[in-house]
Amino acid sequence: MTVTRPAVRPFRPEDAGAVTAIRRAAEPYLVTTVEALLWKVASSPASQRLRLLVAEAPGGTLLGCADTGLVAGSARRGEGFLHAAVPPDHRGRGVGAALVTAGEARLAEIGAVRAHAWVRDEPRARAFAERRGYARRRAARFLGLDLVRAALPPLPAPLPPGVTLRTAADFGEDLRPLYEADLECSADEPGGAGAGAMPYEDWLRLNWRRPDFDPALTSVALSGDEVAAYSVAQTDGRERYWSGMTGTRRAFRGRGLARLAKLDSLLRARAAGFRHAFTGNDATNAPMLAVNRGFGYTPAAGQWRCVKVLSG
């Protein structure tokens, strides 16, 4: 029997619903919305050179998708990303191979020398990546929490001396204190692809102006007037909540403030009616994995960050 390889073409806005469904089926532990997808396509900084690709069957059905571009804020030149997603019922039909081939060609066109890709921690997916020259570098763990049933503790009363809790919404239009904290924490985050100093406007566009970002659920722990720790919240506006970056600035570490900020965010999310919480951590990030286990998170999936050298 002859298997026809799907055609790969650039994403079009009318594909947004189908691509969102593909992402949800392939990665159900992530929060994915049509609005966030269209925002990403329209608002990514020019330096990222973002392009989405879709794999299309002869009849027009979309079978998979991929994001390609350059890593924003990377301290190293030529760091590209290639994130392909194929739902379980379309795997084993050449969809992933077609997307990866087209994605690598596109990365070469824009000057990428390495491709960073996330690969499911499953034997078939690992073998697929290895056959195509991708070497495993770091493992990530995705965790889920039933917010309705979770036995979350109350906030401590009183809070630690000098500490107050706020939300990102309390900062109004001036998010520079959060920007400075995020740059510092992201530079120390395990598993980054060469973190660099991202310009403030790019940081706003990529992280804090996205439609799934929820400033009222993003908690910030202040020590005096300084941002000490924070936990970013993204939601689908219905029932799913995702913990983005949770971090503590270097001067305030060892005091449990990241846990405090994340607990505050989770309690706010539950009070707002969200039912399912998800998060992800580098497998070596023992402190945050311990915090999440303490809240009752359980394993949902695993991935590997893999890297392929495209050119010298």
Residues 6+ apart with CB under 8 A from 2: none
Q: Is the pLDDT of residue 110 over 70?
A: yes
Q: Of 56-60, 193-197, 224-228, 257-261, which range is least confident?
A: 193-197
Beta bridge pairs of residue 107: none
pLDDT interval class at 76 (50, 70, 90): confident
Residue 125: both structure tokens together: 């997916």
Output the pLDDT for position 297: 97
With 70 as the cut, is the pLDDT of residue 194 above it? no
pLDDT (mean) for 6-34: 96
180-189 confidence digits (pLDDT tens): 999 999 888 7
The pLDDT score that the predictor gives to residue 209 is: 86
Percent of the chain at pLDDT > 90 equals 85
Enter the pTM of the model. 0.89
284 pLDDT more than 60: yes
With a CB cutoff of 8 Å and minimum separation 6, the contacts of 155 are: 165, 260, 263, 264, 267
Asked if pLDDT for residue 195 goes beyond 50, the answer is no
